[in-house]
Structure 1
Amino acid sequence: MSLLCHELKPRRKTHPETVHYSMIHRYIFLCSFILFLASCGPAQENKGEESTGTLHLEQTTDYLRIMNGDQPVLNYWLTPQLPDGLPEHYTRSGFIHPIHSPSGQVVSDGFPAGYAHQNGFFSAWTNTTFRDSFVDFWNTHKELATLRNQEIVETVKEDGIIGFKARIDHLSNAHGLILAEELTVRVHDRDDVFVWDVRSEQTNITEDTLILNKHLYGGLGVRGSKYWNAKDTTNFMGLADFLTSDGLTRDSANHTHPEWTAIYGDLPGGKAGMAVIPHPENFRWPVGVRVHPDLPYFSVSPITEKAAFIAPGQTYLARYRVVVFDGEVPVDLLSSF
C-alpha cells in the first residue's frame, strides 16, 4: 500500500504514529507545485546513452552520469565504492556524488575526511528498531547495516527531462533486506541553475514492522563540499553557510521546519551551493531539518520530534526538488517553485 493517499493503521497499539500525509496540503499548494507533480509522472524505458535537448545520460559499469551539454550535472554510483585506506564497512553504492553547479563547481563530497559514512545525496534511517534489535543504516562504521544499488530499473527521456529509476536495497547485517527503495531522479533542461527532482519510495518487504525512532536526524542526507570540511586539512577553505526559507542560518535553523534549506560556501572557482525543497505532500510537511553546527551537512527528517514506522508491505514516499546554483542563494527562485 502506498502512503501517498492512505493513513496507515498500527499493527499493535503500542507502535508509534505511522507515516501518512495531510490532505489539506494537496489543495493549498496544488497550483504552485503543478509542474513539480507533473515531473514525477510515468517514465519511459530506454537503453544505452540517451539525450534530450542539451541533456544526455551516460552509463558505465560503475556509475550513471547526467550531462548538460559538456557539463556534468550529477553522478549516481552503481557499484560498491571504497576509497583506498578505508575499512570495508564504509563500502557503499546507491548515492549521488559528485553534484555539480552550472559553472562546474562540485558542491558535494563522497567519503569525506573524518565522516566517511556520509556520501553526497543519500537516503538512510539512523535510529530504527527491527525485530527488537537496533539497526542503523546511516552510520556504516557501526557495522549494522548498509545501502547497496541493486539495478537500474529504467532510464527516463521526455521533452526537456532526462533521468533514471534505480532499485536500492537497505540491508541489515543481521536481518538481510528490510527496505527495497525505488529512487527516481529527473533532471530538467536548464542551465542558469541545475534543477532535478527526486522521488524515493521505500517499501518494507519483510513480515515485521520497521520502527523509526525519534532522533536528531535520519531520512535524507545532504553532504556538502570537501572545501567546507574542517577535518579535511588539505582542502578546507571555510565552513559552509546555511539558509532556510524562514531566513534562518546555521546558528538558528537546526530542528526547524522550513519549506527549503540551502547549503553553500566558498569553492576554488567561486561561491556555489545546493538547496532541497521537500514536496508539500511529504510526511509531516514542513519536514524538520537537522543542520549541523560544525559539519557541512544537513538532514531532512520527519522523525526529529516524533517516532514513526513502516509496516510490512507499506511504502514510505518522499519527494524533493534539488536546485544547484552558483553565487548566493537564489531566494526568489527557490520560493517560486
Structure 2
Amino acid sequence: MRQLISIILCSLLSVSMWAAGTVRIVVEAGRFDRQDCIVSTEISKLKIKKDTRIALFEQIGKEQKPVKCQLIQEKGGIPVLYWVLDGVTSAGTTREFVARLVRTDAGEETMRVEDTGKGLILKQNGRNVLQYNYAFVSPPAGIDPAYGRSGFIHPAYSPSGNVLTTIQPKDHYHHYGIWNPWTRIEYDGKMYDLWNLGDKQGTVRARKIDQVFQGSICAGYTARLDHCIFGAQGEKVIMDESWDVKAWNIPGGFLWDFESGLHPSTDLPVLIKAYRYAGFGWRATEEWTKENCEMFTSEGKTRQQIDGTTARWIYVTGQCGSQGRSGMLFLGHPENYNAPEPLRIWDEKANGGRGDAFVNFAPTKNKDWELMPGKLYKQRYRIFSYDGEMDREKADRLWNDFAYPPKVTVQ
C-alpha cells in the first residue's frame, strides 16, 4: 500500500510540475569521467510560448545554481535544450537540474553568427571559430573556372586566431578547407567524380541556409547543398545534402560538430564506389609540412603508419609561424557508415616531398555504399581546435563524450 501511495504521489508531483511549467532533469555520467561536457534533451512537454524562455538550475542540496542553457528548434520543430555539464563529473555519478519557464530576456549571446553576405562566421566571445562559405568562390586568375565552388568551411581557426585550413592550393586547386564530396559515384549506370573538379564530371554547390541559431551555449546553422553531375543532357542534382554545424561554448579550445545528411534526390539509387579517398576531408594550412607537424591516431599510429588504417580519432599539431603550435582533433562517430572509418592521409613524402597535411575520413575507402531513394544517411564528426599540444587522454575523453554522451532523463 505504501509503495502504491508513493507512486501516486510521484505521479501527481510530476503532473503538477508540468502544469507549473517546471521539470526535473537527471544527468547520469555513465561509464566515463566527464569534463565540460555538452548535454541535451528534448523538452517538448514544456509548453513554450513566444513570450517565455527556459531557465535552468542545478539542484545542489537545497540550493539551485543558475546554469546557462539554450533552446533550439531542431528538425521537425522539436525543441531541444542544450547546456554544458561544467567542471568534472565522475563516472557513475548523477547531477540534477530543474528547468522552468520564465518571462525574461534571453540573456547574453556568447556564441554568435555573422553573415557577411558571402558566408557565415561562427564566433565565441568575439573570436572567429570557422566560416561557412555559401557564395561561389572562383579559382585564382588564369586557372580553369571549373575549379571554383561553394559550400565549404574556411577558414577554421585555433583559439589564438591561427588559420588551420587552406583552399585552392597550387598543387590541388580542388581542395577546399573542410569539405565533403565523393570521388566515384555510380548513377544510372554511369560513373562520375564530384571531388576532382578539373575532370568536369560534377560538383557540389551550396543551395540555401535553412536555419541559423546563436545564444549562450552554441552558434550554428543548417545548410543545404546539391550534389550535381554533368552529362550529355546537362546538369542533374542527384543528391541533396544537409549540413548541421554547431560550435559550442566550452573552455580550452574551439569545439564544433559537423553532421552531414545525404539522401538521393531522384527515384534512382546512388552508389558510392570504393576508392582510396572521398568524403569528409581537411586540407590543413600551407604552413605545415613534414618539418613542423605531426599526426597521431586513436590506435597509436603515427604519420608514416596511418594511411589505410582505421581510427576513432586523429589529430594534427603543427607550428604556426611565430605564434606557437596549434592543431585540430577530428572525432568520428561510432554510428557512421563503416566505423571506425578508414583514413586517407598524406605521409611525409607527399607533394613532392613537402609533406603537406591532408586528412580524410574515407568510409568508402574499402567498400561500396549504396544510398537508396527516400532514405537519409548521416555521418557525424566532432572537431576540437586548440593551441599547444594534444594528448591521448584528452582525445579519448572528448571522443567518449561525443560517442557515448551522458544519459539525460526528464522527469
TM category (shorter chain) comes to 0.7 to 0.9
Q: Which has the larger radius of gyration?
A: 2
Letter in 1 for 2:287: Y
* 1:300 and 2:361 aligned: yes
* 1:129 and 2:212 aligned: no
1:332 aligned residue: 393
**Which moved further from structure 2: 119-128 or 83-92?**
83-92
Name the CA distance, whole Å, in 1 between partners of 2:292 and 2:279: 23
Q: Which of residues 287, 295, 305 in structure 2 aligns to 1:242?
A: 295
Q: Which runs of 5+ in 2 are unaligned?
A: 1-28, 43-71, 78-105, 351-355, 399-411
**Aligned partner of residue 119 in structure 1, secondary structure:** coil
Q: Which of residues 65, 70, 74 in structure 2 aligns to 1:43?
A: 74
Q: Which of residues 252, 261, 272 in structure 1 aligns to 2:314?
A: 261
Instruction: Kindly provide the CA deviation profile for residues 168-224 of structure 1, in whole angstroms up to 9, marking residues without a partner as x.
Output: 111112251011111010000124110001111011011222111111111111111
CA RMSD of aligned residues (A): 2.6
Name the CA distance, whole Å, in 2 between partners of 1:39 and 1:217: 36
Q: Which has the higher contact order (CA 8 A, sep 6+)?
A: 1
1:205 aligned residue: 265
TM-score, L = length of structure 2? 0.68
Letter in 1 for 2:330: V
Name the CA distance, whole Å, in 2 between partners of 1:181 and 1:36: 25
Identity of aligned residues (%): 26
Deviation at 1:54, TM superposition (A): 2.5
Instruction: Kindly provide the CA deviation profile for residues 229-256 of structure 1, in whole angstroms up to 9, marking residues without a partner as x.
Output: 69xxxxxxx4642111112111001111
TM-score, L = length of structure 1? 0.82
Letter in 1 for 2:131: N
* 1:182 and 2:242 aligned: yes
Question: Which protein is richer in strand relative to its size?
Answer: 2
Q: Which runs of 5+ in 1 are unaligned?
A: 1-28, 231-237
Q: Which of residues 323, 330, 335 in structure 1 aligns to 2:384?
A: 323
Deviation at 1:51, TM superposition (A): 9.3
Question: How many positions carry a matched residue from both structures?
Answer: 298
Name the CA distance, whole Å, in 2 between partners of 1:37 and 1:301: 28
Distance 1:33 1:137, change over 3 A: farther
Distance 1:145 1:109, change over 3 A: same
**Aligned partner of residue 146 in structure 2, secondary structure:** helix
Deviation at 1:164, TM superposition (A): 0.5
Letter in 2 for 1:288: P
1:7 aligned residue: none
1:119 aligned residue: 176
Letter in 2 for 1:263: V
The aligned runs of 1:1-337 (5 Å cut-off) are 38=40, 42-43=73-74, 53-85=109-141, 86-174=143-231, 175-228=235-288, 238=291, 240-268=293-321, 269-293=323-347, 294=350, 295-337=356-398
Are the aligned partners of 2:227 and 2:239 in contact in 1 as well (CA < 8 Å)? yes
1:25 aligned residue: none
Instruction: Kindly provide the CA deviation profile for residues 11-62 of structure 1, in whole angstroms up to 9, marking residues without a partner as x.
Output: xxxxxxxxxxxxxxxxxx98669966849985399xxxx9954221100210
Distance 1:189 1:58, change over 3 A: same
**Aligned partner of residue 228 in structure 1, secondary structure:** coil
**Aligned partner of residue 255 in structure 1, secondary structure:** coil
Name the CA distance, whole Å, in 2 between partners of 1:71 and 1:145: 35
